[in-house]
Homo-oligomer: A and B are copies of this chain.
Amino acid sequence: MKALLLRDLRLAIRAGGGFGLSLAFFLIVVVLVPFGVGPESDILSRIGPGILWVAALLATLLSLDRQFALDHEDGALPLIATSPLPLEAVALAKALAHWLTTGLPLTLAAAPLGVLLNLDPAAYPWIVLTLGLGTPALSVIGTFGAALTVGIRRGGLLLSLLVLPLYVPTLIFGAEAARRGAQGLEVATPLLMLAGITAGSLALLPFAAGGVLRINLR
State the A residues within 8 Å of B (CB).
15-17, 20-21, 24-25, 28-29, 31-33, 35-38, 43, 46-47, 49-51, 53-54, 57-58, 61-62, 66, 70, 153-154, 156-158, 160-161, 164, 167-168, 171-172, 175, 179
| Interface of chain A, main secondary structure | helix
CA distance A50 to B29 in the complex (A): 12
User: Are A54 and B36 in contact, with the CB atoms below 8 A?
Assistant: yes
CA distance A50 to B54 in the complex (A): 15
Chain B residues within 8 Å of A25, by CB? 157, 160
Q: Contact check: which of B17, B47, B66, B161 meets A37 at CB < 8 Å?
A: B47
Nearest-CB residue, chain B, relative to A22: B157
Q: Contact check: which of B15, B37, B62 meets A50 at CB < 8 Å?
A: B37
User: Are A50 and B24 in contact, with the CB atoms below 8 A?
Assistant: no
User: Are B54 and A24 in contact, with the CB atoms below 8 A?
Assistant: no
CA distance A165 to B160 in the complex (A): 25
User: Are B154 and A66 in contact, with the CB atoms below 8 A?
Assistant: yes
CA distance A157 to B50 in the complex (A): 24
User: Are A33 and B15 in contact, with the CB atoms below 8 A?
Assistant: no
User: Are A35 and B175 in contact, with the CB atoms below 8 A?
Assistant: yes
Nearest-CB residue, chain B, relative to A163: B28
Q: Contact check: which of B20, B43, B57, B161 meets A46 at CB < 8 Å?
A: B43
